[in-house]
């Protein structure tokens, strides 16, 4: 059991982590900007330290300051909450080097899952069902044409490092492919610093269902139920509904089983 946990976040998520730690008898350390010195997470934690001015880039994203607080206060673990540094593999690597447990995925897992083409490749290797498409990144227009002919139009060209609908193009015919492919690569490079893209079959009128997976260091895996995320605008989710409407217990069990398979990659 951890003895002291640093919470590298603020607001409601920090309060939830503080509450959980108190229930487990774990001391909590929080960090705050000068602007947030009177916030509730500062008052309710056992210790709190200022790590910089109001701008998040100078405080909650300031890796040296956060790591220094964790090390000097004797924290044996750090909880990132969500956002900020929660998906930053370089941050996790620094903590790993200092033998401070990051409560979350390993640096390697964050890097692998941050690359959608790599994640797709890993799921295929573990026998998890995926939408027909490329096995990995598609590097040339010739390769894109070959895959599109095999799976049939319409297709999606998607940024490997993407999110929020950026670097994504719907292609309905081979005449549209080259322009859409190059356009997706250009937007991906501008938005994510990588022009890598992959291809999937475009599923028309789909039901967008997501399962969240929780796995510990001992290989125990559960899923936390599903969310229905089909209501979107420009490929960005607007509303998430849980449990998903229309989901049967049989389908939930089948998809949950796939989640357990996918966790073997982590």
Residue 265: predicted pLDDT: 59
Give per-residue pLDDT as tens, 225-250.
Answer: 899 999 888 777 899 999 998 899 99
Residue 176: predicted pLDDT: 96
Q: Give the position of tokens 């947030």.
A: 36
Rounded CA-CA distance 171/194 in Å is 21
Residue 266: predicted pLDDT: 57
Residue 263: predicted pLDDT: 62
Give per-residue pLDDT as tens, 141-164.
Answer: 999 999 999 999 999 999 998 777
Cβ–Cβ contacts within 10 Å for residue 26, how many?
Answer: 18
Is the model's pTM score more than 0.85? Answer: no
Residue 162: predicted pLDDT: 76
Token pair recorded at residue 259:
């989640």
Residue 131: predicted pLDDT: 93
For the chain, which residues make up each domain, given as ranges?
4-111, 115-201, 209-265
Q: Give the position of tokens 């357990």.
A: 260
CATH of region 4-111, choose from 3.90.870.40, 3.40.50.20, 3.40.50.12780, 3.90.550.10: 3.40.50.20
Give per-residue pLDDT as tens, 177-193.
Answer: 999 999 999 999 988 88
Tell me, which fold does domain 115-201 have in CATH? Dna Ligase; domain 1 (3.30.1490)
Rounded CA-CA distance 258/266 in Å is 14
Question: Which residues of the chain, if any, have pLDDT below 70?
Answer: 260-266
Using CA atoms, how far residue 75 sits from 17, 79, 95, 103, in Å, is 15, 11, 11, 12
């Amino acid at each position: 059991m951890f003895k002291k946990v640093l919470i590298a976040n603020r607001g409601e998520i920090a309060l939830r982590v503080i509450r959980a730690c108190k229930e487990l008898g774990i001391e909590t350390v929080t960090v705050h900007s000068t602007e947030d010195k009177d916030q509730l997470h500062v008052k309710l934690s056992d210790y709190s330290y200022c790590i910089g001015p109001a701008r998040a880039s100078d405080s909650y994203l300031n890796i040296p300051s956060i790591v220094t607080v964790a090390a000097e206060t004797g924290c044996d673990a750090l909880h990132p909450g969500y956002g900020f540094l929660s998906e930053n593999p370089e941050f996790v690597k620094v903590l790993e080097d200092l033998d401070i447990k990051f409560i979350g995925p390993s640096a390697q897992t964050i890097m692998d899952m941050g690359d959608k083409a790599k994640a797709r490749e890993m799921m295929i290797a573990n026998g998890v069902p995926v939408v027909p498409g490329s096995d990995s990144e598609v590097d040339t227009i010739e390769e894109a044409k070959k895959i599109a002919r095999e799976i049939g139009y319409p297709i999606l060209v998607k940024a490997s490092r993407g999110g929020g609908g950026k670097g994504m193009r719907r292609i309905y015919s081979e005449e549209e492919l080259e322009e859409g492919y190059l356009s997706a690569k250009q937007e991906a490079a501008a938005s994510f610093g990588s022009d890598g893209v992959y291809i999937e079959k475009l599923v028309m009128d789909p039901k967008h269902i997501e399962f969240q997976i929780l796995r510990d260091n001992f290989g125990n895996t559960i899923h936390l139920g599903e969310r229905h995320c089909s209501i979107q605008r420009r490929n960005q989710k607007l509303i998430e509904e849980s449990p998903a409407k229309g989901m049967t217990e049989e389908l939930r069990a089948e998809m949950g089983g796939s989640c357990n398979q996918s966790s073997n990659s982590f």
